[in-house]
Structure 1
């Protein structure tokens, strides 16, 4: 994103030294770009914080971002340019000393006298303390939800270690699929809560030492919708995590429950977690089955790709080291 040298209203403004002194004197990190999204100027606050000047393409924008935040941030920026919409995005910016802090960037369009778009102006506001507080609150909630998951395991009697195993796989698979921070957090919360609805299942069904009858199976299937209801009552679980809880037993071919969704109708996080949940069930011993070997479980996932499971997610999961 090298500066554009064509003559336009923004370039004319930048040629005005009073205008540039005004930008440089602002007490926040500030930048301007032309209508096509090509950066034209960064103020002294940006340069002093990052240690980058106009020598780098895009004034060091991509260079200064945390590697994990680069792809989603650039995607957000490109969507805003394509749609001509103002935007807000959070990402980590590297200081000149190599440390990172969270910033909120807000970009707005600037229109000319005839109503045409000719520039973008953006501010970068330090939100490190706010993000730290959010992360600490999330960690506290996750610890409580893990305890809840372990409590459900104790009642279930046949899934000891299930919560921690699926959490480990969820973290690794989410990273492999390139999920953003918010999606990964929702995946974790949904993984902790996916079996919450089993508290509503009577012991005669949940603890039955054998295969369920069709009637008992219908009773068991209530747990996904009931889990969504109970998780929603907590008040802090994001919609994507609630969708995971409700839909992780849907099947790619539409034969699952509770809503019979098929293919990409199934929410993405539910499709991701379904692969993890099936794999852990296969390699775990149950009263009615032995634990399958790793090779047997991998073969079954391949067989179910395009039937029960999302083929793309199966491929990514099987590519994880140690699976």
Structure 2
């Protein structure tokens, strides 16, 4: 049980009074990372004091932000490194606003075992504007991905499915919010390079000749070039687009990368992309059953796919939906 008190900061009354009167939320924590003091602003906003558990702040967090916040905080305690993290904090009326919390470890503990000091600053207006801009970007990227999907002869929802499955797998693997966003954007535009392929190649039934196959293989590098020109995709999203046809054994394209030299997000995406391709009908193949597709994914572990990603894919809940 973490016992928070608004007057447990140390022996200097004037310093305590100054901290109490500050218009932003301030806190201290002991060497184990348990919050030992919060100032009046924290209490006025959250109403949380004394009854909290764990590190002392979880009670006020949005449920979706608890796990990533605790992960960052636990790592900071282990390393002693300063950290900043954004999370949503509940007010006494039950609403949430975005804050950035900043924690710094002291060179030596103060009175009452104070080893960490930090602040919580309201960034809600900035964060809402950022989220709105991101939503607009996602909508534009999704529209482009759906247009490419239609040209590819697939109107069955491939784009939305692989995005949904990739995010599910990414969460099961413990990706950060930043990485999940990059994975989503890369998944939406993974085949954008096909925009330059002629229909005679893209829609050709049956086997491809060497020239057509060379054009097909060019789409991932061309896709990265096109997506980079949009100007707002993060490097990790561009890596998904470029490297989602690499293979764990180094026999993929465009760069022949192997093992963990393949960016993690691309290793994640390629599993769900191949799974969806297997269970979908194409001009050159019939749809496989979900069981057949999962067996193939397992068979290609440590050959085409990262074995750790395959293990999580096959065991995660919920399992990628079977059509």
TM-score range relative to shorter protein: 0.7 to 0.9
User: 79-88 vs 264-273, which deviates more?
Assistant: 79-88
In the alignment, the residues of structure 2 paired with residue 196 and residue 170 of structure 1 have an alpha-carbon distance, to the nearest angstrom, of 17
Matched, 1:134 2:130: yes
Alignment correspondent of 2:49:
53
Question: CA offset at residue 55 of structure 1?
Answer: 4.2
String of CA shifts for 1:215-243, please: whole Å, max 9, x gaps. Answer: 32222111111111111111111111111
In the alignment, the residues of structure 2 paired with residue 205 and residue 59 of structure 1 have an alpha-carbon distance, to the nearest angstrom, of 58
In the alignment, the residues of structure 1 paired with residue 175 and residue 90 of structure 2 have an alpha-carbon distance, to the nearest angstrom, of 21
Question: CA offset at residue 35 of structure 1?
Answer: 5.0
Alignment correspondent of 2:14:
18
Contact 1:42 1:59 in 2 (8 A): no
User: Equivalent of 2:265, from 266, 269, 273?
Assistant: 269
Alignment correspondent of 1:104:
100
Q: Secondary structure at the match of 2:115?
A: strand
Contact 1:34 1:40 in 2 (8 A): yes
User: 292-301 vs 175-184, which deviates more?
Assistant: 175-184
Question: CA offset at residue 103 of structure 1?
Answer: 0.8
User: 130-139 vs 23-32, which deviates more?
Assistant: 130-139
User: 170-179 vs 271-280, which deviates more?
Assistant: 170-179
Question: CA offset at residue 89 of structure 1?
Answer: 0.9
Q: Secondary structure at the match of 2:133?
A: helix
Contact 2:9 2:28 in 1 (8 A): no
**Root-mean-square deviation (Å):** 2.6
Alignment correspondent of 1:191:
187
Q: Secondary structure at the match of 1:134?
A: helix
Alignment correspondent of 1:115:
none
Alignment correspondent of 1:150:
146
User: Equivalent of 1:70, from 47, 62, 66?
Assistant: 66
Alignment correspondent of 2:230:
234
Mind listing any 5+ residue stretches in structure 1 that lack a counterpart? 5-10, 113-117
Contact 2:8 2:36 in 1 (8 A): no
Alignment correspondent of 2:297:
301
Alignment correspondent of 1:281:
277
Contact 1:53 1:59 in 2 (8 A): no
Contact 2:2 2:56 in 1 (8 A): no
String of CA shifts for 1:49-91, please: whole Å, max 9, x gaps. Answer: 2211134346731222223222322222233334433221111
Question: CA offset at residue 293 of structure 1?
Answer: 1.3
Q: Secondary structure at the match of 2:267?
A: helix
Contact 1:52 1:60 in 2 (8 A): no
User: Equivalent of 1:89, from 75, 85, 88?
Assistant: 85
User: Equivalent of 1:212, from 208, 211, 224?
Assistant: 208
String of CA shifts for 1:173-200, please: whole Å, max 9, x gaps. Answer: 2333332322221111111110011112
In the alignment, the residues of structure 1 paired with residue 171 and residue 34 of structure 2 have an alpha-carbon distance, to the nearest angstrom, of 30
